[in-house]
Amino acid sequence: MRIAMIGGGYVGLVSGACFAEFGIHVSVVETNPARLSALREGRIPIYEPGLDSLVASNSQAGRLTFGDDIAQAVAGAEAVFIAVGTPPRNGDGAADLQYVHAAARQIAQAITGYTVIVTKSTVPVGTSRRIAEIIRTTRPEVDFDVASNPEFLREGSAIGDFMRPERVIIGLDQKQPERASRAEAVLRQVYRPLSSTDATLLFTGLETAELTKYASNSFLAMKISFINEMADLCEKLGADVHQLAKGMGLDSRIGREFLQPGPGYGGSCFPKDTLALSRIAQEAQSASRLVETTVQVNEARKAGMAGRIAAACGGSVAGKTVGVLGLTFKPETDDMRESASIPILHRLAEAGAQIKAFDPVGMDAAKPLLPEGVEYCTDALSVADGADVLVVLTEWNIFRALAPEALVARMRHGVVVDLRNIFDPAAMRAAGLQYQSVGRP
Ligand code: NAD
Ligand code: UDX
C-alpha cells in the first residue's frame, strides 16, 4: 500500500513514520526548506522521543521518503493525508484554512487514480466537504472521496499515542453510502495493524468526526481549568489538590487523567482549538459559554502567575533575580507554542526582574518568543546561582532530581515557586527553602 502525507510537522512526521512502521510506503511532502533539508539529511527537525530511530529505520527500509514534489507523492497513492497547520486566524481566533485549501488544490492537480483524501489536521466542521468541492472544481474528472481522520496524539508521547490509540475516528460522507464504504475499505486497510490492539475504530459522518476533535480537546482543557480553579480553592481552604484529584478521579465517571494543576494549559492545540470551537459555535448561532469561559479563565491564569511570583518575593520582582526552570509548554518536547512561560516571562521582565532560564531542549525555540535580556543557562543548577526566587514552569524529570540543599547553597534568597508541584514540600522546607506550590497547604 502507498500513501502520501502532506506536511512533515509534529503530526505529519510522526503519523508518516508510524504508518511506515505499519508496513505502508509513505511519501512525506514538506515545503519548509529547513525542515525538508534536515529530513533529507537524516536529522529530525523537531524533538519527539523515539522519532529519530523510527524515521531512520523506516527510511533505511525504503518505506519512508521525504520530498517537496506533491505530484510525485500523490500519483499512485491510495490515500493522501493532509497534516498541514491550521493556526488561529489573526483577529477572530477561527482556524486559518489557507494551508489546507492550498494542499487540496495541489492534490487535485496530482491525483492519478481513485484516491481517498483524508484530513488529519484539526479543521472546522464543513472543511472536508469544502476540500471535496475544491478538488471537484479544480479537476472535475478525478475519482476520489474525502474522509476526516482527526489526530489525538500528544507531543512528548506521540509515537506511543499513535501506535496504541484508544480510538481512531474516521468520518465519511454517510449521505453517499456506496462511496463511503469504498473509502472505508481503504482506511480499514491503512489501520489494519491496530486490530491487534485495544483501539476502537469509530466510523462517523464527516461533520461528527470534525467536531469530535474540537469537543475532545475543549473538554480536556475545561477539565484542566476546573482542577486549576479547585487548586486555588484548596489554597484558600487548607485542602490538598492532589488528594482531591485522586478522590475525584477514583470515580471512573471522572477519571484520574488531566487533573494536574499548573500555570494554565498551553501548546499548539488546546488554546487554538478552544478558541476555534467558540467561533464554530457562534457561527452556528449556538454559543458555547463553557468553552468561552475556559478560554478566558486559562488566559487569566497564565497572566496571573507573574503576580504569584511577585507575591512570593514580598510584593515585587523589581531588581530581583528570577531563575526559571523549564520553558516549553510541557516536558519532552521543544514546542513553545502558547507556552505559559511566554506571558509569565514578559510580565516579569516588564516588572523589572533579571531572568535566568534553562530548558533541556526548548531554548532555541524559546529565544525569539521571550523578552530580550533573559540569560540562558547551560544546566539546571546554574539557574539557582544568585537567584532570589526559583520558578518551576515545566515539569522536566531532570528538575525533580535537584537536591533542595544544592538549591539553598546557590541561591541568594531561598524562595521557590513550584508551579508544577514537582518537589516534596516537607523536604524543601526542611532544607530551609521558602516553598510554594499549587493547591497544596
Ligand atoms: P506544524 O506546523 O508542526 O506542521 C505543519 C507542516 O506542514 C509544516 O512543516 C509546514 O511547512 C507544512 N506544510 C504546510 N503547507 C504545506 C503544503 N502545501 N505541502 C507540504 N507541506 C506543507 O503543525 P502540527 O503541529 O503538525 O499540526 C498540524 C495539524 O495537526 C494542525 O491542524 C493541528 O491542529 C493538528 N494537530 C496537532 C497536534 C500536535 O500535537 N501538534 C495534535 C493533533 C492534531
Ligand atoms: C493535546 C491533547 O492531549 C491531544 O489529544 C491532542 O491531539 C493535541 O493536544 P498536547 O497539547 O500535545 O496534546 O499535550 P497535553 O499533554 O494535552 O498538554 C497540554 C497542556 O495542558 C500542557 O500545557 C500541559 O502542561 C497542560 N496540562 C495537561 C495540565 O496543566 N494539566 C494536566 O493534567 C494535563
pLDDT digits (tens, 9 = 90+) for 162-206: 999 999 999 999 999 999 999 999 999 999 999 999 999 999 999
Q: Looking at residue 406, what is its pLDDT?
A: 97
Q: What's the average model confidence in pLDDT over 257-267?
A: 98
298-436: same fold as 2-198? Answer: yes
With the most atoms of ligand 2 within 8 angstroms of its CB, the residue from 270, 295, 328, 342 to mutate is: 270
- Does position 288 have pLDDT exceeding 90, yes or no? yes
Binding residues for substrate: 152-155, 213, 258-262, 266, 330
Give pLDDT, residue 74: 98
Residue nearest ligand 1's atom 38 by CA: 11
From 330, 335, 394, 395, mutation site for ligand 2 pocket: most ligand atoms within 8 A of C-beta: 330
**pLDDT band at residue 141, thresholds of 50, 70 and 90?**
very high
Shortest-distance ligand to the CA of residue 219: 2
Q: What are the backbone dihedrals phi and psi of residue 27, each rounded to the nearest 5 degrees, phi first?
A: -105, 115
Element spanning 272, H or E: helix 270-283
Q: Which residue has the CA at smallest separation from atom 11 of ligand 2?
A: 267
pLDDT band at 287 (very low <50, low <70, confident <90, very high): confident
> Of 291, 267, 269, nearest to 280 (Cα)?
291
- Average of per-residue pLDDT across 216-242: 98
Return the ∠ at Cα 100 (arms to 134 and 370), rounded to 5°.
160
pLDDT at position 441 is: 84
Closest ligand 1 atom, CA of 103? Answer: 18
**Mean pLDDT value across the chain:** 97
pLDDT tens digits, residue range 65-121?
999 999 999 999 999 999 999 999 987 889 999 999 999 999 999 999 999 999 999
pLDDT given for residue 91 in this prediction: 79
Which residue's CA is the nearest one to ligand 2's atom 17? 154
Nearest CA to ligand 2 atom 21: 265
Evaluate whether the domain defined by 2-198 bears CATH number 3.30.43.10.
Answer: no
CATH annotation of 298-436: 3.40.50.720
The residues annotated with a catalytic role in the active site are 269
Helical H segments across 75-153, by residue range = 98-110, 127-138
Specify the amino acid at residue 15: S
Q: Nearest bound ligand to CA 46? A: 1
Annotated binding site: 35, 86, 122, 152-155, 213, 258-262, 266, 272, 330, 337
pLDDT of residue 90: 84
Q: Which residues pair with 434 in a beta bridge?
A: 415
SS3 at position 380: helix
Cβ(165) – ligand 2 distance below 6 Å: no
Ligand 2 pocket test, pick from 10, 15, 265 with the greatest ligand atom count within 8 Å of Cβ, gives 265
The answer to whether 195 touches 403, Cβ cutoff 8 Å, is no
State the distance from the centre of ligand 2 to the C-alpha of 259, rounded, in angstroms.
11
- Residue numbering of the annotated binding site for NAD(+): 35, 86, 122, 155, 272, 337
pLDDT of residue 22: 97
Q: What is the mean pLDDT of residues 48-77?
A: 98
Orientation angle between helical segments 289-312 and 270-283, nearest 10 degrees = 150
pLDDT band at 14 (very low <50, low <70, confident <90, very high): very high
Closest CA to ligand 2's atom 14: 154
Q: Count H helices, E strands: the chain?
A: 18, 14
Q: Give residue limits of the domains in the chain.
A: 2-198, 298-436
* CA count, 13 A, side-chain hemisphere, 230: 19
> Going by CA atoms, what residue is nearest to atom 37 of ligand 1?
11
Q: Report the atom number in ligand 2 closest to the C-alpha of 217.
A: 2
Assess whether the C-beta atom of 267 lies below 6 angstroms from ligand 2: yes
The pLDDT assigned to 424 comes to 97
Q: Does residue 155 have its Cβ closer than 6 Å to ligand 2?
A: yes
261, with CB counted inside 10 A (0-12, 13-18, 19+), is buried
> Measured in angstroms, how far is the CA atom of residue 269 from the centroid of ligand 2?
8
Question: How far from 132 is each of 71, 91, 104, 226, CA to CA, in Å?
Answer: 18, 27, 8, 39
Residue 387, C-alpha cell as written in the block: 537567584
Q: Is residue 223 lining ligand 2, measured as CB closer than 6 Å? A: no
Of the ligands numbered here, which is closest to the C-alpha atom of 99?
1
Residue range 336-378, pLDDT digits in tens = 999 999 999 999 999 999 999 999 999 999 999 999 999 999 9
- Mean pLDDT for 150-158 is 98
Verify whether ligand 2 is closer than 6 Å to residue 259 (CB atom). Answer: yes
Residue 73 contacts residue 4 (beta carbons within 8 Å)? yes
Ligand 2 center from residue 112 Cα (angstroms): 39
* Percent of the residues in the chain that have a pLDDT greater than 70, as a whole number: 100
